[in-house]
A and B are shown apart, each in its own frame.
Chain A
Amino acid sequence: MSNTTPPRPLSPHLQIWRWHVTMLSSILHRVTGSASVAGIVLIAAWLICLALGRETYTVFLQYAASPLGLLVWFGLSLAGFVHLTGGLRHLIWDLGLSFKPKDADTLATWTMLLGVALTIAFWAVLFTSGKVAL
């Protein structure tokens, strides 16, 4: 196959870039998106265990509600929220806004911080309402 068509050009790998905030946010968008793949697999597992009945679901909860399970959910919620606000940044850019380097940096910084803030708020509510405990 590669005899007939020249290979597609590849994206430059991480070590080529100089670190700056929009590059960090771009990489984080891919990292958090990839991590969210694990999130949707676990949500599918949650639904399957629920459909299989009380006994299976109790086994699922033994893992999901354990400290290690909560750490995994925390990481997945962080990935989800940061990916969500990162997506918001991309949608803003799609509107043709915030393209000046300074504005783009500000937007990238604030959307990353907003993702972290949403995660902290989510878990603060979970713990303070007593629904989740270690």
Chain B
Amino acid sequence: MSTKEALAKNDASTRSAQSWKKSEKHGAGEWLAERFTSLALIPLTLWAAWGAWQIAGGGFDAALAFVRNPFNMAAIAVSIVLAVWHMYMGVKVIIDDYLQGPMRGVCIFLTFLLSVAVLFGSLGALYLVYQGA
């Protein structure tokens, strides 16, 4: 193999999408999920800030009308799923960095419980609003 070919083989831009996914266990998948959720959350967070401005000062009726809008409801649901997923991965990284032994497992489990609670609480609430609560 020439030097040129060897260089080309190591150049990230020439690697196939398949080879990007390879890692010993599941690290590459987590890496991609972190990037995917953060990329998607940039426009979603800015949209949420716009939404907060929309309903600010409008009381119950403004908030209900905003959430009942089908596009807004879908965007809220997607934002929450991605944000909870992103939160779980982020908190887990911090736990992995600073905790060892049983405390690590307990804290990751608690983070998982919190993630599930936030997910079910908010998606359940969205469903109730959708049903016409």
Contacts and interface: CB of A to CB of B under 8 A. Distances in A.
Nearest to B76: A47
Interface string B27-58: 00000000100110110011001000100111
Interface of B: 12, 35, 38-39, 41-42, 45-46, 49, 53, 56-60, 63-64, 67, 76, 80, 83-84, 87, 90-91, 94, 96-98, 100-102, 104, 114, 117-118, 121-122, 124-126, 128-129, 133
Interface in A82-134: 84, 87-88, 90-91, 94, 96, 122, 125-126, 129-133
Range for the number of chain A residues in contact with chain B? 35 or more
Contacts of A36: 87
Contacts, number: 107
A16 interface: no
A34 B91 contact: yes
A95 to B, nearest CB: 10
Given A34-B91, A131-B53, A44 B118 contact: yes
Contacts of B39: 91
A63 to B, nearest CB: 14
28 contacts: A1-B101, A8-B100, A10-B97, A11-B97, A33-B90, A37-B87, A37-B91, A40-B80, A40-B83, A40-B87, A40-B118, A41-B114, A43-B80, A43-B122, A44-B121, A45-B121, A47-B76, A47-B121, A47-B125, A52-B133, A54-B60, A80-B49, A84-B45, A84-B46, A91-B35, A94-B35, A132-B56, A132-B57
Contact of B53 (A30, A58, A126): A126
A75 B59 CA distance: 22
Contacts of A30: 94
Contacts of B114: 37, 41
Closest CB pairs A-B (n = 8):
A51-B125, A51-B128, A131-B57, A11-B97, A131-B56, A47-B125, A44-B122, A48-B125
A10 B122 contact: no
Interface string A1-37: 1100001101101000000000000000010011011
B82 to A, nearest CB: 11
A44 B125 CA distance: 8
Contacts of B117: 44
Given A36-B87, A129-B53, 13 more contacts: A13-B98, A33-B87, A37-B87, A44-B117, A44-B125, A50-B60, A51-B125, A57-B59, A57-B60, A80-B49, A87-B38, A91-B39, A126-B53
